[in-house]
Amino acid sequence: MIHLRIYGQTPSKKSSQQIIVNKKTKRAMLIPNKKYNEWIHTAKKQLKDQKADKDFTLIDKPVSVKCIVYRLTKRKIDLVNLLQSVHDALTEAGILKDDFLIESVDGSRRVLGVDKGEERCEIFIYHY
């Protein structure tokens, strides 16, 4: 089992998008907004540092990932969208080769209304 932690408020990937128009094709496109981009950059750095400290290699076999997301707001938010952000961060940080290797997210949940400074995501990766 590998235990990792991302500090900060995990954003929902789906609701953290903005619409732009491609100048060449004149088509509308969805891209992540500035807030999401800042979070993913910070999350990748935190995960890379933890990977170096724990000294493990890129995971390229099926895993189960349990995420407990602690958020400031008490507003209901879709857990699946939060997990998508975390899974993308794990892939971009070089923890997982690809997020299709995640075969189970059993036990994942969100905890709403935590105190300021307590927002984070606890990640537990279990090998099969």
Q: What's the average model confidence in pLDDT over 81-105? A: 95
Q: For 29-77, what is each residue's pLDDT tens digit?
A: 766 678 888 999 999 999 999 999 998 899 999 999 999 999 998 888 8
Determine the residue type at 36. Y
Q: What's the average model confidence in pLDDT over 9-31? A: 76
| pTM score, whole prediction | 0.85
pLDDT at 104 over 80: yes
Per-residue pLDDT band at 28 (split at 50, 70, 90): confident
For residue 59, count other CB atoms closer than 10 A to its CB: 21
SS3 of the chain: the string is CEEEEEECCCCCCCCCEEEEECCCCCCEEEEECHHHHHHHHHHHHHHHHHHHHHCCCCECCCEEEEEEEEECCCCCCCHHHHHHHHHHHHHHCCCECCHHHEEECCCCEEEECCCCCCCEEEEEEEEC
Q: What is the pLDDT of residue 55?
A: 86
Q: Where are the domains of the chain?
A: 2-127
pLDDT at 111 over 90: yes
pLDDT at 126 over 80: yes
CATH architecture of 2-127: 2-Layer Sandwich (3.30)
For residue 70, count other CB atoms closer than 10 A to its CB: 19
pLDDT at 17 over 70: no
Q: Which residues make Cβ contacts (< 8 Å) with residue 104, sequence separation at least 6?
A: 64, 65
Q: What's the average model confidence in pLDDT over 93-104? A: 96
